[in-house]
Structure 1
Amino acid sequence: MSIRPIRSADHAALLALWQRTPGICIRPEDAFEPFCAYLLRNPDLSLLSEIDGRLAGCVLVGHDGRRGYLQHLVVDQAYRGRGLAQALLVETLARLAALGVQKSHVFVLRDAPEALAFWEAQPGWGPREDIQLYSTRRVSA
């Protein structure tokens, strides 16, 4: 297995992976242009893993200078159970720490039981009970 930064050329393969993975919700921000802009704002943080040259998993990662934000941590069904998600997580946190970012958040859909089980099993990670998340999408006039 190898881990490397995601490049814009990986978008089509990643989008296909996300589309076939239960518990991943594709939104307009996952389209090519926003995806590329995200990579530019967060260079070398979003990662993918490959086995024998084939996409096996990925994670999108950004930060605001204080907190890291993880999204779309996915391992393709055929490659699960090999520690790939854990390897991506470890590398992600190491890259954030190198930038001085010690605290991270991940957004997990409530109807994604495999993802929820993964995060519940991670030492040091836990659900927040003290905040409620609100979101908006700016609508062009």
Structure 2
Amino acid sequence: MSEIKYTLRVMKEEDYDQVYHLWMSIHGFGIRSIDDSKEGVTRFLKRNPSTSVVAVVNQQIVGAILCGHDGRRGCMYHVCVDEQYRKHGIGKAMAVFCMKALQEEGINKVSLIAFKSNALGNRFWKDAGWTFREDLNYYDFTLNEANITRFNS
């Protein structure tokens, strides 16, 4: 396998179109109509200006993580790498980038959600040493019914 030369940098608002295109290219990717819109992502990046990351190869975004915190705990969303660039350490490097950015802001713990149907993602996180929590239940409540999730086929 040949080495892929990539760079990591903080995600910017101007990256939205390329990041959205990446999201749309990934089979089974879940995206919300409002939260993942340009306006929603811009709002997220303004609240968390230094913790999200993109991986770039030849000026093309091939990986991305939305990452932020509430002052107590960090959370990663939409961790993804273009299928043709997987298995080169990009996902791990992006996760480390985000974790370091969170640590610089005084955050001591980070979490993420992986759909049960995402076998590849779940294996990735377990292999990376993340702890699968069996001691809690996850709940959410929809405040805006228009913010629906759809999955790429």
TM-score (normalizing by structure 1): 0.93
Q: 1:44: which partner in 2?
A: 50
Query: What SS does the aligned partner of 1:61 have?
Result: strand
- Structure 1: which 4+ aligned runs deviate by more than 3 Å? none
For 1:92 and 1:86, the matched residues in 2 are separated by: 10
Offset from partner CA, 1:40-93 (integer Å, 9 cap, x none): 000121110101211110100010111110011101011111100011011111
The Cα shift of 1:37 comes to: 0.2
Q: 1:102: which partner in 2?
A: 108
Q: 2:144: which partner in 1?
A: 139
Contact 2:18 2:60 in 1 (8 A): no
For 2:107 and 2:28, the matched residues in 1 are separated by: 27
Aligned positions, number? 139
Query: What SS does the aligned partner of 2:135 have?
Result: coil
For 2:96 and 2:144, the matched residues in 1 are separated by: 37
Q: 2:126: which partner in 1?
A: 120
For 2:29 and 2:7, the matched residues in 1 are separated by: 23
Q: 1:13: which partner in 2?
A: 18
- Indicate how the Cα distance of structure 1 residues 5 and 139 shifts in structure 2: closer, same or farther if over 3 A, else same: same
Q: What runs of 5+ residues in structure 2 fail to find an aligned partner?
A: 1-5, 146-153
Q: What runs of 5+ residues in structure 1 fail to find an aligned partner?
A: none
Q: Match of 1:30, as an amino acid?
A: D
Q: 1:2: which partner in 2?
A: 7
Contact 1:59 1:73 in 2 (8 A): yes
Q: 1:83: which partner in 2?
A: 89
The Cα shift of 1:24 comes to: 2.0
Query: What SS does the aligned partner of 2:30 have?
Result: coil
Offset from partner CA, 1:94-115 (integer Å, 9 cap, x none): 1101111110001101111110
How much identity, in percent, do the aligned residues show? 29
Q: 1:65: which partner in 2?
A: 71
The Cα shift of 1:12 comes to: 1.5
